[in-house]
Structure 1
Amino acid sequence: MHYFRNRKKIILYLLLPFFLTAQKSVKDNLTDLSYDDLHNLYFTNVNNPKVQILYTDAYMKKAVKENNNIRRAKANYQIALLYYKSDTNKAIQYLDSVIKYSKGSNDKYFPAAAYCEKADFLKTQFNFKDAMLNYNLAEKAALLTNIDYYYVVRDYIAVTKSEDLGEYIEALNIYKECYVYYQDKDTRSSNYAGEYVNVIFGLADCYKSLKKTDSTSYYNKLGYRESKATNNEEYKNLFILNEGANQVLKRNYVAALDSINKALPKMIEYNNTGNVLAAYFYLGKTYEGLGKKAIAAENFIRVDSIYKVTKEISTEFMDGYPYLISYYKNLGDKEKQLKYITTYMSIDSTLHKNYRELNKLVYHEYDTPHLISEKENLINSLNKNKVKTYWGMGFLFLTVIVLGSFALHQYRTKKQYRSRFEKIIKETNRNDNYQVNKENETGTDPDKIGDIGIGEELINQILEKLNRFENDKEYLRPNITVQILSSTFETNTKYVSKIVNIYKEKSFIQYINDLRVDHAIGQLQENNKLRKYTVQALALEFGFNNAESFSTAFYKKTGIKPTYFIKELDSSTNQQNDYKPTI
């Protein structure tokens, strides 16, 4: 449930002292105060940015005067927080300064915290690619200095995969990893209680998204017990609300109604707008299941009202709009029917992953002839705002055309990807590991010797070493470079680089990446256990530093993403297993 996650800034609270000292009187020269005093005064004035600026300015001056880089980093971090709501680009600039001054400091939280915060800001700009890159950098930094915080970062990554990218299986695996880590910790202490319930909620939410309702109930109950034991009232009610949503999936509507009605007043009390929206949505689904159409519509209208104010909604809560469109269509209320059609089709373009469902609604419920007829009926029956209605319906008609073109493009792309997948399979030796034999050929080409400017004997030696390098799968070593390989071959980088360019007909980086991808293709076909790995784990398995570089190299070589390749492999395997020959 995308809005159920507690989105409070974890880092800020990690940096607060456990017991803030009483606020000191402001001295004429603030730089005479200690760093801890200035830090405490900054955070005890969170509702007064003008005063906070005074303290962080003094903190920065003190750090510059003492040439203390880690303190400079923390001052920049405080400034970045001041831009949290007003200017994300400015906040990112200051976080970059935090990273610059804290690199190599061995501080428990920096630069890892700055990478995390930067990733959060990038997510608000829907730049998920760079956000994930920064989370990965935070992982690496935290792993060296603070293993507890490393798992906080892992939790952030799982949240992003689940709530923003819809990668529930990968998110679930990360949550399980975190859950195992906390098993030998005092999870009811102030150090671990908050993160532990975060992880439990993540498990429950992923299982619910995957419609594993029994597992969802198990973790909702566990989370409820832990929240109650640690007096975490907000999370206790979040687990109640999440279980209410889960009971909707189970079609236990009476139980769902009981849970949601218990949690909703608390969400309103905590001013948790996202979860108030979620509660009204699932009340609507509950009453829809109970056959109480008017009450269901009332709750879906409340969802729309919150969306109108916040301009935030996820695909999970879009289902109320088709219900309202159908509801008012049956009542003959064309004005409201048109209103919710327009709203549904104008939802933020960042929800483009839902266009397929949206397109299905338009073509099945509002196909082109129907739209033309609807347009005429609405103009005649409403008899007002004729010009506005004309343009509105014209826009709706054009939207249908655009969405139809988008659907056609998606179909062609899918067909093209399938063709590329089949081509890869045909080119693969099914009985041995995938190898590109032409890249293992040795022997010089007389026409190329003149071009390359290296003696024939030396070329043959390097080609033989490259052949052994490929056969021994040395390319799976991470961070392999032309310098490292040249040193191993006891020659210089120019020779190796030129021979790879001429004889392999590609750059050195492309040569290494292609070997790794070819190996990955063979291994993924041979070993179905590897297909259950995350893309990050597969990247490390095949010599890449991160999931992004693996996916990029795989796509460049094959024209498809590794996730698609794995999905098609699994699909092909399942079809073979389902096939039973007749005797």
Structure 2
Amino acid sequence: MKKNYLLFFLCFFGLLFSQAETLSDYYKIKEKYINNEENDSSVFPYLNMYIAKAKKEKNYEQLTQAYKDGVFFASTREQKLQYADSTISAALLSKDSDIIGDAYLGKGIVYYFNFKKYKMALNEYLKAYRFSENTKDNYLKYRVIYHLGVVKSYLGYYDEALKHFNEATDYFESQIRKNTHPNIIFNNKKGYYNGLHQMIVCYRNLSDFRKADLSIKTGLKETYHSDFKQERGYFLKEAGIEEYRKKNYKKSLELLNESLPAIQHINDFAWATVDYFYMGKSYWAEDNQAQAIANFQKVDSVFEKHKFILPELRENYELLINYYKNKKDTEKELYYTKQLLRADSVLSQDFTYLSHKIHKEYDTQTLIKEKQRLEWETSWGSFIIIGLVVIALGLCAILVIRYRHEKEIISKYKILEERIIGVQEQRSIPETNTFEPEIHKSGLDKKLIEDILIKLKNFEEKNGFTEQGLTLNKLAQKFDTNSNYLSQIINDFKETNFNRYLSELRITFITTKLYNDKIFLSYKIETLAEKCGIASRSNFSNLFYEFNGIRPTDFIKQRKQETENGDKRQG
């Protein structure tokens, strides 16, 4: 990062040196600190001279550059943010769109890299995009495109993000081949390697492992024995994840451990947590639970400190919860359950904001500008406008349908909630009448009927229906009776057939658990199905909807919102 930032401006000042004596004076100050390490605050006596000179001369281009250097050499992220704000103030005074766009991009990078605040970073990236959309500085243009791709990748829009990264890496790679200054080539290589790393992440999440593997090999080959230690660390990380996928766990641990120092050196805590997570999974696969749990806990430590987690690390908490559940350590199981809920809250807030913002303020604006270009170039502009209007109306219709659907879900949830509460209140009232079956319903022996009905009642109270693979024959064997008798009694006294009777018990059981027990809200749909004895996720979801009138995902979402609002009111 040091060379990426400083060598570019060393080149920049070298080109300007011959143009004006004033610029040579700036260069003389700058050369006193140009070779210092990033975050080295000892340079500030010289840097303050630079700032004072630019202010006195009202040279806002140089003042912007001085504050950018302040971002680079500031020793804390808070100071970096202050200098990033000053960079924007100076850039605005310059009234140069490229300088202003670059300043907003710089502040966005501080939010992204040093704080991992995607919301704030995106706001700055979009401002940078607006100022740079007509720029002739392609290096600035494709840096903005790259960072917008990073946000889309974080949101899980991997196909869309890949388009951004392909655009950026194609540009950076084309500049590497040009016969130009070595420092400019260095900066473009930096952009190319970072874009290639992000492409690998997208390929991996899209399960395109062939392209991921080829790109990893390219990255490792080109960064071998080079100055790009940070980028090599990223490629080693991805190589370690790929070896984990191939079940080569020892090789995976070797590569992940090798990648970690370079990532930690630049305090990239986000990618470091990915290292910890896959190291934990590799240790787990090697049956080294102590090391596995230690690495999973490192992920939690980073989340606790920075309140940031990548979506792919959510599983980290599920593994910790299950581990301590099996250990019967309820205190730690509860702690990590709460952490998972906190992580989900952070992710859901980020995703709601970022997804809306990037599609509304970037994708929509890009679409509008493309429409204008087509209108200018072709006489078919009117047809395009009609098409876009149709699309807009379609989108409006989708939003209306979605809004009505959300209202319908809330209404159904309230109805179901009243039903659950009513059943619970009814159960709390002691039974006063002794059980007397209506013998006229069946031609079977009264004693046989009473015996089976008592067993069915006991079966319901002890949740025997949660056993997977339960059939009419198996239950009849458990009751020491004939399956035909059992089927007839269920039909006559439960007024339904055996399969529907079993399904209703299971769905009622899991619905009550979801309503009363917060931990069930954190389980995956597959886990919920398993808990109530249903083998298939799709079968569970369909039965839940059939009996409750609402999908389990929608019920869980509404219940989470209700419990969170209740907790806030209590707090």
Instruction: Name the TM tier (shorter chain).
Output: 0.5 to 0.7
Q: Give the deviation of 1:204 after TM superposition.
A: 1.0
Q: Give the deviation of 1:353 after TM superposition.
A: 6.0
> Given the alignment, which residue of 96, 99, 114 partners 1:104?
96
Q: Deviations over 1:231-287 (max 9, x none)?
A: 433322321221211233344445433432443455556665444432221022223
The letter of the residue matching 1:519 is G
Structure 2 residue matching 1:319: 3-state secondary structure: helix
Matched-pair contact (CA < 8 Å) for 1:20–1:40: no
1:419-438 → structure 2 map (5 Å cutoff): none
Structure 1 residue matching 2:78: 3-state secondary structure: coil
> Given the alignment, which residue of 321, 332, 336 partners 1:336?
332
The letter of the residue matching 1:102 is S
Distance 1:90 1:333 in 2: 45
- CA separation of 1:517 and 1:92: change in aligned 2, threshold 3 A: farther
The letter of the residue matching 2:156 is G
Q: Give the deviation of 1:220 after TM superposition.
A: 0.5
The letter of the residue matching 1:119 is G
Distance 1:154 1:110 in 2: 17
- 2:105 is the alignment partner of 1:116: yes
> Given the alignment, which residue of 206, 216, 223 partners 2:219?
223
Distance 2:127 2:240 in 1: 35
Q: Give the deviation of 1:223 after TM superposition.
A: 0.5
1:394-433 → structure 2 map (5 Å cutoff): none
Distance 1:14 1:99 in 2: 21
Matched-pair contact (CA < 8 Å) for 1:228–1:236: yes
Q: Give the deviation of 1:327 after TM superposition.
A: 0.9
Give the aligned partner of residue 135 of structure 1.
128
Q: Give the deviation of 1:309 after TM superposition.
A: 4.0
Give the aligned partner of residue 537 of structure 2.
none
Structure 2 residue matching 1:86: 3-state secondary structure: helix
Matched-pair contact (CA < 8 Å) for 1:11–1:113: no
When normalised by structure 2's length, the TM-score is 0.53
Give the aligned partner of residue 160 of structure 1.
151
Structure 1 residue matching 2:159: 3-state secondary structure: helix
- CA separation of 1:75 and 1:257: change in aligned 2, threshold 3 A: closer
Structure 2 residue matching 1:190: 3-state secondary structure: helix
Distance 2:167 2:138 in 1: 13
- 2:138 is the alignment partner of 1:147: yes
- 2:231 is the alignment partner of 1:235: yes
- 2:301 is the alignment partner of 1:305: yes
1:90-489 → structure 2 map (5 Å cutoff): 90-91=82-83, 93-104=85-96, 110-121=99-110, 123=112, 124=115, 125=117, 126-127=119-120, 129-137=122-130, 139-140=132-133, 143-144=135-136, 146-163=137-154, 165-186=155-176, 189-228=185-224, 230-264=226-260, 267=263, 273-290=269-286, 292-347=288-343, 349-352=345-348, 476-477=371-372
Q: Give the deviation of 1:295 after TM superposition.
A: 4.0
- CA separation of 1:156 and 1:180: change in aligned 2, threshold 3 A: same
Matched-pair contact (CA < 8 Å) for 2:240–2:255: yes
Distance 1:70 1:19 in 2: 12
Give the aligned partner of residue 439 of structure 1.
none
Higher helix share: 2
- CA separation of 1:343 and 1:314: change in aligned 2, threshold 3 A: same
What RMSD, in angstroms, separates the aligned Cα atoms of the two structures? Answer: 4.4
Matched-pair contact (CA < 8 Å) for 1:277–1:303: yes
Matched-pair contact (CA < 8 Å) for 2:61–2:91: no
Structure 1 residue matching 2:335: 3-state secondary structure: helix
Structure 2 residue matching 1:41: 3-state secondary structure: coil
Unpaired segments ≥5 residues, structure 1: 1-7, 22-30, 357-472, 481-513, 525-549, 563-583
- CA separation of 1:97 and 1:20: change in aligned 2, threshold 3 A: closer
- CA separation of 1:348 and 1:15: change in aligned 2, threshold 3 A: farther
Report how many aligned residue pairs link the two structures: 364
Structure number, greater radius of gyration: 2
Distance 1:38 1:329 in 2: 62
Q: Give the deviation of 1:61 after TM superposition.
A: 3.8
Matched-pair contact (CA < 8 Å) for 1:475–1:516: no
Matched-pair contact (CA < 8 Å) for 2:68–2:87: yes
Q: Give the deviation of 1:479 after TM superposition.
A: 12
- CA separation of 1:128 and 1:75: change in aligned 2, threshold 3 A: closer
When normalised by structure 1's length, the TM-score is 0.52
Distance 2:210 2:369 in 1: 46
Q: Give the deviation of 1:49 after TM superposition.
A: 4.0
Give the aligned partner of residue 5 of structure 2.
12
Structure 1 residue matching 2:99: 3-state secondary structure: coil
Distance 1:350 1:310 in 2: 11
Q: Deviations over 1:328-387 (max 9, x none)?
A: 11111112212212222233843226999xxxxxxxxxxxxxxxxxxxxxxxxxxxxxxx
Q: Give the deviation of 1:127 after TM superposition.
A: 2.9
Sequence identity (%): 24
The letter of the residue matching 1:117 is G
Distance 1:254 1:474 in 2: 51
Matched-pair contact (CA < 8 Å) for 1:72–1:101: no
Give the aligned partner of residue 559 of structure 1.
399
Distance 1:474 1:79 in 2: 36
Structure 2 residue matching 1:152: 3-state secondary structure: helix
